[in-house]
Structure 1
């Protein structure tokens, strides 16, 4: 234990840390609201297998072995629970939200982070829908009679039962947080944020839709495209720091499932140190890296990196709520191409 604590203390020293207390990171107040909003996490979409129950609620992203705890509102939890045929039934889900640190105790402590869900895009309990299904574009649909409208490459593409598919260029579109409107010559699509349940299968969606097709009005559900637009930052980064006669190599891997790994190599006989956690982009296009385990022990370490072509850099680090400046800064260089998949 003494060696572990000494190693961690040395690591912080090598990073150039001095004692300086920051404001409580859980406090949403800020002296400058514009700056605060800019540094807030950018919401993004995770798609994968969702489990909702009293003691476990999680998502395992597609093509990943990682799992994250999900924070749901009472309305979201009730809606997800209502379509299950049995407790803890695996469901296919597309969830929009952002990461926060896991608590020090409780069920969520076993996960690398909490994914705070701002909106359910899709949640399907029925058979046949899974990660094997290709990612869909923004889409509105209804039954009795069947109709479907997709937003594809600047056009509204309409499908109706017994008719040929039609496509028209979008001539006008308006977006707000709670409403989206698309207009072409003969079609219109208005999406309003709110839980919508499909009458044909056990599924819920994050939008309600009002549609006009050649003068006929329809109502149904809708979903946004599940593409994660933040994956341009994914990849591997590396940098070095020299202290006296010793050098420290720092590696950072940002995976497409938003898991993150930081490694520290002293280039001596000392074993490599490893931190694990998650990453996400912020509203001002920076990268927020949140580590929740140091050598598998609970510790919250946060760095926000600025991006400049093939390099990322950070000026400070927050460890368990205390902010330390990094003397001379920390600069890491990209060692791989972006992984936008």
Structure 2
């Protein structure tokens, strides 16, 4: 399997030399294959249905039919198990985490990816209604007395006490650390700390909230905005050979973080198909990992760097081996909407 794949990519790069371009010097924060042990994957927000079972837990992103194997800490597993009435009941969840490749053993190979849960953001027992709701902004609320703070924009907080009309508070400063998120306005300060918090039995929040105002100090629960910060990468990218072989490659990055690569010869109507996942590494780079080649488990990855509307990858890793892609690398062009 592996020699066939390497031969295919060597041929591909020869055919695509008219579409390739040389890489400019990378900024210091860029990463490359060969630095795998040093690559830190920034966690992002995943929204979807969670299924907790004694043997396997899974996560299905909203508006997707793809399942990820879900890896939870013992505490997270215990917490989520208490939110279901029976094993394998679907609940709605927002998880801050990142993806990694599933192992090849047993049923694991049937999953596109494994979702590593870094933190729970919000859990609801209604497994269907959650995904039908629009994307939420960062919000905190408490009871006795009732209060609510909602971030309507990076510069503004909507503050409401009891049944009074919302007040607009301008945000003077936002400070995010590993332990806290602090939103400061002239009238007060909202502090969020990662900790499980519950206002009622139907929902579980991933943040404790402390709201200090001129009127007093209030406590409650909070959830961060459930917007995936990496959605700008979602698109189809392509490269076509100008040679007579008429070979093309198409990479599709989907909103559920799954990825598909098609390799197609014009005289063959059946493309070679690879499937896997993608995730952003920083503002300019993404990791694309393929976990199945023609529906068989085969692990490969590329790191693409964005250059305008183009993606460029100089190397590919297949298994544990890293290869230089011929003719300076693979360059893909973003399809226009």
Give me the TM-score of the superposition, normalised by structure 2. 0.87
Aligned length: 318
Distance in 2 of aligned mates of 1:271 and 1:134: 38
Deviations 1:147-177 (A, max 9, x none): 2111122122112223222121112221112
Name the structure 2 match of 1:190.
191
Relative to structure 1, is the Cα distance of residues 54 and 303 closer, same or farther in structure 2, using a 3 angstrom cutoff?
same
Relative to structure 1, is the Cα distance of residues 88 and 311 closer, same or farther in structure 2, using a 3 angstrom cutoff?
same
Name the structure 1 match of 2:235.
235
Name the structure 2 match of 1:272.
271
Is 1:131 matched with 2:128? no
Distance in 2 of aligned mates of 1:128 and 1:334: 34
Q: Per the alignment, in what secondary structure is the counterpart of residue 81 of structure 2?
A: helix
Map 1:236-275 onto structure 2 (within 5 A): 236-241=236-241, 246-269=245-268, 271-275=270-274
Is 1:99 matched with 2:96? no
Deviations 1:248-286 (A, max 9, x none): 211111111111110111223373100001111103520
Relative to structure 1, is the Cα distance of residues 221 and 112 closer, same or farther in structure 2, using a 3 angstrom cutoff?
same
Q: Does the 8 Å CA contact 2:92/2:128 hold for their aligned counterparts?
A: no
Distance in 2 of aligned mates of 1:320 and 1:6: 12
Q: Does the 8 Å CA contact 1:237/1:336 hold for their aligned counterparts?
A: no
Distance in 2 of aligned mates of 1:38 and 1:228: 24
Name the structure 1 match of 2:296.
297
Deviations 1:76-113 (A, max 9, x none): 11111122222222111111111101101144322100
Name the structure 1 match of 2:170.
169
Q: Which blocks of at least 5 consecutive residues in structure 2 are unaligned? A: 15-27
Q: Does the 8 Å CA contact 1:41/1:288 hold for their aligned counterparts?
A: no
Relative to structure 1, is the Cα distance of residues 165 and 294 closer, same or farther in structure 2, using a 3 angstrom cutoff?
same
Name the structure 2 match of 1:317.
316
Report how far residue 201 of structure 1 moved: 2.5
Q: Per the alignment, in what secondary structure is the counterpart of residue 79 of structure 1?
A: helix
Deviations 1:49-82 (A, max 9, x none): 1111222211111111111111111111111112
Q: Which moved more, 1:325-334 or 1:232-241?
A: 232-241
Deviations 1:216-247 (A, max 9, x none): 2111111110111111111111113478x634
Distance in 2 of aligned mates of 1:124 and 1:260: 28
Name the structure 2 match of 1:159.
160
Report how far residue 127 of structure 1 moved: 7.1
| Residue 11 of structure 1, aligned match among 8, 21, 26 | 8
Report how far residue 326 of structure 1 moved: 0.3
Q: Which moved more, 1:51-60 or 1:225-234?
A: 51-60
Name the structure 2 match of 1:26.
none
Relative to structure 1, is the Cα distance of residues 33 and 246 closer, same or farther in structure 2, using a 3 angstrom cutoff?
closer
Distance in 2 of aligned mates of 1:48 and 1:182: 28
Distance in 1 of aligned mates of 2:89 and 2:188: 38
Q: Does the 8 Å CA contact 1:84/1:202 hold for their aligned counterparts?
A: no
Q: Does the 8 Å CA contact 1:173/1:181 hold for their aligned counterparts?
A: yes
Q: What is the RMSD computed on CA atoms of the aligned residues?
A: 2.5
Relative to structure 1, is the Cα distance of residues 326 and 242 closer, same or farther in structure 2, using a 3 angstrom cutoff?
farther
Name the structure 1 match of 2:20.
none
Distance in 1 of aligned mates of 2:2 and 2:267: 18
Deviations 1:117-166 (A, max 9, x none): 11111111147841111211111112233221111221221122232221
